[in-house]
A = this chain, B = another copy of it.
């Protein structure tokens, strides 16, 4: 690859090539995966991105796009000696359109900035991946990120009205519109959402906003076993209440979080349910009371209704710090996101526990109980190859069990490198073949994020 040529085609200061400058871009948030690129490019607009892709096309150079690199499936780990295209300098909020409840942004804007901007207008951007303080919206769209509010509000996909992307030949395309209804032509917007940088580079995003809920109540319920927590979740939904969050922590996660954050979580229980309801003040009061009653009826040991916003925030912070708290225990934290239909979550949690035990592994579980999205988390050491082998074996069994329950190997992190080899297990051969057909058709040379989602072709 002719790096001088690449550098000459972009504004000054856009390309890094020195080894020490490249090092921070050799990995993302995924344990045990890294690879050195040849160059890191910081485009400032779609034209810069197009210049990079045209160069890559000429030189047959692979291009891996990344934002903050918080991904947990190796989706933005570089290809050896390839180009890394980093969107962090494309960080402008271009428009907040309060009449059409929409916001146009560049891909490098941080997720939390999106919601802060929305809040200035009394509006709300609901998707809240745990990494939202550092993750970029471009990464969220490329991975169709989830978050804690999935049950009520859906995921990133549900808030993307349109996007601009640069496709492999350097053409800039726009997909979608500000119209609430638009059925002109195939929906390629949704094909690009969640395509993990393998079909194009997203350069602008038109987001949908909703009115900001006026009130919120937070509840905490503790249980002596996971089944009762799961029954509570089912009963709340049977009562036609759709809370915005229904989060679950197992014993090990509770203890780690309490050690880490000291928020006064009870450490003598087997499971903890953290629930939030938001919306109109009258509805929120009514629902919070009903949820507390249901929790008690289904055998909660203790039910706490946060007295004020400070207490609610403290509890929310406790839940949000689960990953960080677990990550302190052992050198390597492998956070999975096997997901099942909501009704199967209790079985899935039990299976993870047993599988961890069977393989002699330290495993903590937490996750989004309302939407069946579990995070079984292995606390291990990547240098211990024998233990890592057992982790892989356990993970494989967990994925197979999730699939057998009608679930998925990845609820919100994406396939990337880490789950690529498991993907064919979830798809029937016909639909797996369709995925490859689409890739081959839109990126015929296979230069965009090669090796992610599928093995490198040919």
Bound together, the chains give a CA A406 to CA B178 distance in angstroms of: 7
Minimal beta-carbon separation of A179 from chain B (angstroms): 5
Q: Which residues of B contact A384 (CB under 8 A)?
A: none
A 201-233 contacts with B by CB, 8 A: 210-212
A411 and B177 alpha carbons, distance in the complex (Å): 11
CB distance from A71 to the nearest CB of B (A): 11
Chain B residue numbers with a CB within 8 Å of A188 are 191, 431, 434-435, 438
Q: Which residues of B contact A146 (CB under 8 A)?
A: 181, 183
In the complex, whether A240 has a CB less than 8 A from a CB of chain B is: yes
CB nearest to A341 among chain B residues: B178
Do residues B179 and A372 form an inter-chain contact, with CB atoms below 8 A? yes
Q: How far is the CA of A195 from the CA of B371 in the complex (A)?
A: 28
Cross-interface CB contact of A179 among B154, B411, B442, cutoff 8 Å: B411
- For A102, the chain B residues whose CB sits under 8 A away are 341
Residue of B98, B173, B234, B431 near A99 (CB, 8 A) is B234
Q: Which residues of B contact A181 (CB under 8 A)?
A: 146, 150, 155, 339, 368, 371-373, 408, 411-412
Those of A313-368 within 8 Å (CB) of chain B: 339-343, 368
Q: Interface readout for A164-187 with B: 1 if CB under 8 Å, 0 if not? A: 000100011111011111111111
Residues on B with C-beta less than 8 A from A101 are 237
With an 8 A cutoff between CB atoms, is A441 at the interface? yes
Please tell me if A138 contacts chain B, counting CB pairs below 8 Å. Answer: no
User: Is A33 close to B, CB under 8 A?
Assistant: no
Is the pair B280, A180 in contact by a Cβ cutoff of 8 Å?
no
Tell me the bound Cα distance from A178 to B340 in angstroms: 8
Of B99, B173, B430, B442, the residue contacting A428 (CB under 8 A) is: B173
A98 to B341 Cα, complex, angstroms: 12
A242 interface hit (Cβ, 8 Å): yes
Cβ-defined partner of A280 (8 Å) among B100, B283, B407, B431: B283
A178 to chain B: which residues have CB within 8 Å? Answer: 341, 406
- Does the CB pair B341–A371 fall under 8 Å? no
The residues of B that contact A440 with a CB separation of less than 8 Å are 441
A99–B341 Cα distance when bound, in Å, is 9
Known: A438-B186, A442-B437. A237 touches B99 (CB 8 A): yes
- Alpha-carbon distance between A373 and B178 when the two chains are bound, in angstroms: 12
With an 8 A cutoff between CB atoms, is A77 at the interface?
Answer: no
Task: Report chain B residues within 8 Å CB of A180.
Answer: 150-151, 154-155, 342, 370-373
Measured CB to CB, the closest approach of chain B to A403, in angstroms, equals 9
CB-based contact A408/B177 at 8 Å: yes
**A414 on the B face (CB < 8 A):** yes
Question: Is the Cβ of A195 less than 8 Å from the Cβ of B190?
Answer: no
CB distance from A275 to the nearest CB of B (A): 16
**Chain B: minimal CB distance from A427 (Å):** 6
Asked if A158 is at the interface of the complex by the 8 Å CB criterion, the answer is yes
A160–B95 alpha-carbon span in the complex (Å): 30
How far apart are A40's CB and chain B's nearest CB, in angstroms? 26
**Interface residue? A395 (CB, 8 A):** no
Contact between chains at B371 and A173 (CB < 8 Å): no
A431-B174 in contact (CB<8A): yes
A100-B343, A240-B212, A280-B283 as given contacts; A406 in contact with B177, CB under 8 Å: yes
In the complex, besides A158-B158, A181-B339, 17 extra interface pairs with C-beta distance below 8 angstroms are A97-B343, A99-B238, A101-B237, A146-B181, A151-B180, A172-B430, A173-B434, A177-B406, A177-B408, A179-B339, A179-B406, A181-B408, A182-B410, A184-B408, A187-B191, A188-B191, A190-B191
Chain A positions near chain B (C-beta within 8 angstroms)? 97-102, 122, 143-144, 146, 150-151, 154-155, 157-158, 167, 171-175, 177-188, 190-191, 193-195, 199, 210-212, 234, 237-238, 240-242, 279-280, 282-283, 286, 339-343, 368, 370-373, 406-415, 419, 423, 426-428, 430-435, 437-442, 453
Between A and B, 22 residue pairs with Cβ closer than 8 Å are: A99-B234, A99-B238, A99-B342, A171-B433, A173-B430, A179-B341, A179-B407, A181-B408, A184-B408, A184-B409, A184-B419, A185-B427, A185-B453, A186-B435, A187-B194, A188-B435, A211-B240, A280-B286, A282-B283, A283-B283, A437-B441, A438-B441
Complex A-B, nearest 7 residue pairs according to Cβ-Cβ distance, in ascending order: A441-B441, A190-B190, A211-B240, A180-B371, A181-B411, A171-B430, A99-B343
